[in-house]
Copies of this chain bind each other. A is one copy, B any other.
Amino acid sequence: MYRTHTSGELRIAHNGTVVTLAGWVQTVRKFGAITFIDLRDRYGITQLVFAESLNEQLEKQPIGREFVLQATGTVRERTNKNANLATGDIEIAVSAFTILNRSAVPPFTIQDDTDGGDDLRMKYRFLDLRRPEVKRNLSLRYAVNRATRDYLHGQGFMDIETPFLIKSTPEGARDFVVPSRMNAGQFYALPQSPQTFKQLLMVSGYDRYYQIVRCFRDEDLRADRQPEFTQIDCEMSFVDQDDILRMFEGLVKHIFSTVKGVNYDEPVQRMRYDDALWLYGNDKPDIRFAMQLLNLKKPHHVLTDKQDSRGLIDGAGFVVFDNAETVLAIAVSGCADYTRKQLDELTEWVKRPQIGMQGLVYIRCNADGSYKSSVDKFYNEDKLKAIADAAGAKAGDLILILAGKEELTRKATSTLRLEMAERLGLRNPEHFKMLWVIDFPLFEFALEDMDGGGAGRWVARHHPFTSPKPDHIDIMINHGPTVDDPEKYLEHPYAGIKANAYDLVLNGNEIGGGSIRIYQRELQEKMFAALGLDAHEQQEKFGFLLGAFEYGAPPHGGLAFGFDRLCAILGGSESIRDFIAFPKNNAGRDVMLDAPGEIAEKQYRELHIKPA
């Protein structure tokens, strides 16, 4: 052992003890003939004091920042206590020291507020990882890992490892593939998730499975996507949706309690997908605050069960609203006194390409009960009041209204809602609120076929193993998937089929999602057919699963959490990269390793491939 104690554990009770510490030099300060060094390790920082007698050695062996130092000395009480440091009551009067390793001057400062840019920090990730912030992030990640395992173990789940070298069955995302040396012309694929394996484990009777497991998707990397990412992957047999929701909201509550010290004891709300879109414009609403959408107008063919309030705006001759497919309003609390300049700035904000709206209509609900709007010309005070009342506005609030194409407008209003909440301080990252979104559509219609045919086709919104709602199974069985007019796909019966699928949303972020699975061979075949797989392709790609369903497959379901994102949100960050020890950049490169890289001619030969 190079040390008797760590740099985080010495207290006044150790006064007089002779100790040896080993760690990194955080700072070196000289006061007259005395040298002070803050020694750092994973566990903390301890002040070392080098008396004059050591100056000869210090001159011969000068010590710099980030040197690795071993020092022996006696613990003594500090005259100048540092209340910000756990070890701040003591210091070590050093009697002997050894430089275990030297350090060049780091290319950036090893502190929370570093002067290192993103590229530099990634290239020297081993130094970036020394920064307290990154250490806190990885410690939190480990704590979440540990809490997850403890909870699931307590609930009877077994960690069962599934293979990484599997078969390429590209359905949704693109697979990473691995050429096989021993099987010329053939490739393994890296799993996008252990989905089919965990289902097979249910067929095998393992009842409750989990894994914290790496997954791979070769997609173009949008901000905050990684080609390899980690899932908490779970599956249970003999359960219905309610069993699963209760089990896994329990998991997140356990994580809150053990990792964050947050006692989350309120019930977790459940919201239908249609209601989420109707009330928040979004299938992962942040419900820490209300600010629900007033649907002044929406097209008849979407959210068909919902009635809009078009009576409040129709007949006024305001062509913007009259021509719009969709008109949505939100009431922003206490903002009636926004200045002209502030409103102009907001208008510019919604007109940015990322939002894409043409303009913004406002109604001030003045404190004196009067109303003032940018469309006073078309709506008198009574009409404005009626809209304000329907939006749930009170005196002092500001109503913002967007109008345009359905999808664009709903999304823009949702984004505006989040933006206003942010400005009002309603999105405190240390305030957590979960929400289950349920009853998702089983299918989405992809207007552009991936192979360029362009006819459009149904794709699984969740994945092809998701079960329809029991009373929607007949719709699938009684109708074929063919869509005659892609423009009118919403009129096809498949558009109305809901899935036994659910997402867990935390503070407006989807942290997990899953479904009750299909476990009958016939229904699974019907599902594959709906997605355009003929019998031959079904057999080739998923024959093992269809086969397994013939030998007593139990009812089962599960879900997966995005582990990186869950950690990021719990850590109060929006970026998953800060919570991954060795992340890749947006081009999928590890700039520290300089990977990917070229391979030798011999490797090409052995793998039966050549450069294109």
Apart from A25-B552, A135-B206, 6 more pairs, CB < 8 Å: A127-B204, A165-B216, A179-B609, A183-B587, A187-B598, A608-B611
Cβ proximity bits A154-195 to B, threshold 8 Å, 1 near / 0 not: 000011111111111010001111111111011111100000
Cβ proximity bits A542-562 to B, threshold 8 Å, 1 near / 0 not: 011001111111110000000
Oligomer copy total: 2
Cβ proximity bits A592-604 to B, threshold 8 Å, 1 near / 0 not: 1111111110011
A–B pairs, 28, beta carbons within 8 Å: A22-B554, A24-B205, A24-B554, A100-B554, A100-B555, A103-B550, A103-B552, A104-B550, A125-B200, A126-B204, A129-B204, A130-B205, A135-B205, A142-B160, A160-B581, A163-B228, A163-B590, A164-B216, A165-B584, A166-B590, A167-B594, A170-B600, A174-B603, A174-B606, A176-B178, A177-B603, A178-B190, A604-B612
Chain B neighbourhood of A594, CB < 8 A: 167, 543-544
Q: A457 at interface (Cβ–Cβ under 8 A)?
A: no
Decide: B162 and A204 in contact? CB cutoff 8 A: no
Chain B neighbourhood of A166, CB < 8 A: 590, 593, 595
Closest to A163 in B: B582
Docked CA distance A135–B135 (Å): 39
Decide: A612 and B608 in contact? CB cutoff 8 A: yes
Q: A526 at interface (Cβ–Cβ under 8 A)?
A: no
Decide: A129 and B201 in contact? CB cutoff 8 A: yes
Picked from B100, B127, B181, B220, the residue with its CB within 8 Å of the CB of A551 is B127
Closest to A551 in B: B103
Q: A102 at interface (Cβ–Cβ under 8 A)?
A: yes
A230-B161, A551-B106 given; A238·B129 CB < 8 A = no
Q: A607 at interface (Cβ–Cβ under 8 A)?
A: yes
- Taking the closest CB of chain B, its distance from the CB of A207, in whole angstroms, is 4
Q: Which of A145-153, A409-417, A528-536 contacts B (4 or more CB under 8 A)?
A: A145-153
Chain B neighbourhood of A253, CB < 8 A: none
Q: A294 at interface (Cβ–Cβ under 8 A)?
A: no
Docked CA distance A103–B205 (Å): 14
**Minimum-distance CB pairs A-B, first 7:** A167-B595, A129-B204, A103-B552, A186-B596, A2-B238, A42-B207, A66-B552
Q: A197 at interface (Cβ–Cβ under 8 A)?
A: yes
Decide: B550 and A1 in contact? CB cutoff 8 A: no
Closest to A43 in B: B207
A167-B593, A203-B126, A207-B41 given; A552·B67 CB < 8 A = yes
Docked CA distance A560–B574 (Å): 35
Q: A513 at interface (Cβ–Cβ under 8 A)?
A: no
Docked CA distance A203–B135 (Å): 13
Chain B neighbourhood of A608, CB < 8 A: 611-612
Decide: B238 and A205 in contact? CB cutoff 8 A: no
Chain B neighbourhood of A177, CB < 8 A: 178-179, 599, 603, 607
Docked CA distance A305–B6 (Å): 41
Q: A589 at interface (Cβ–Cβ under 8 A)?
A: yes
- Taking the closest CB of chain B, its distance from the CB of A563, in whole angstroms, is 9
Q: A479 at interface (Cβ–Cβ under 8 A)?
A: no
Chain B neighbourhood of A135, CB < 8 A: 205-206
Chain B neighbourhood of A41, CB < 8 A: 205, 207
- Taking the closest CB of chain B, its distance from the CB of A201, in whole angstroms, is 7
Cβ proximity bits A225-268 to B, threshold 8 Å, 1 near / 0 not: 00110100000001110010000000000000000000000000
Decide: B188 and A595 in contact? CB cutoff 8 A: yes
Chain B neighbourhood of A203, CB < 8 A: 126
Q: A341 at interface (Cβ–Cβ under 8 A)?
A: no
Q: A443 at interface (Cβ–Cβ under 8 A)?
A: no
Decide: B552 and A165 in contact? CB cutoff 8 A: no
Chain B neighbourhood of A548, CB < 8 A: 126
Closest to A203 in B: B126
Decide: B142 and A182 in contact? CB cutoff 8 A: no
Q: A84 at interface (Cβ–Cβ under 8 A)?
A: no
Closest to A131 in B: B204
Q: A139 at interface (Cβ–Cβ under 8 A)?
A: yes
Picked from B43, B240, B596, B600, the residue with its CB within 8 Å of the CB of A183 is B596
- Taking the closest CB of chain B, its distance from the CB of A25, in whole angstroms, is 8
Closest to A593 in B: B167
Chain B neighbourhood of A598, CB < 8 A: 185-187
Q: A493 at interface (Cβ–Cβ under 8 A)?
A: no
Contact residues, A80-110 vs B (CB, 8 A): 100-104, 106
Q: A605 at interface (Cβ–Cβ under 8 A)?
A: yes
Chain B neighbourhood of A153, CB < 8 A: 146
A182-B587, A582-B197 given; A187·B596 CB < 8 A = yes
Closest to A196 in B: B593
Chain B neighbourhood of A2, CB < 8 A: 238-240, 555
Decide: A1 and B239 in contact? CB cutoff 8 A: yes
Chain B neighbourhood of A162, CB < 8 A: 581-582
- Taking the closest CB of chain B, its distance from the CB of A579, in whole angstroms, is 10
- Taking the closest CB of chain B, its distance from the CB of A108, in whole angstroms, is 11
Decide: A158 and B138 in contact? CB cutoff 8 A: yes
Docked CA distance A577–B200 (Å): 18
Docked CA distance A181–B587 (Å): 10
Docked CA distance A24–B204 (Å): 10
Docked CA distance A206–B519 (Å): 45
Q: A214 at interface (Cβ–Cβ under 8 A)?
A: yes
Docked CA distance A604–B216 (Å): 18
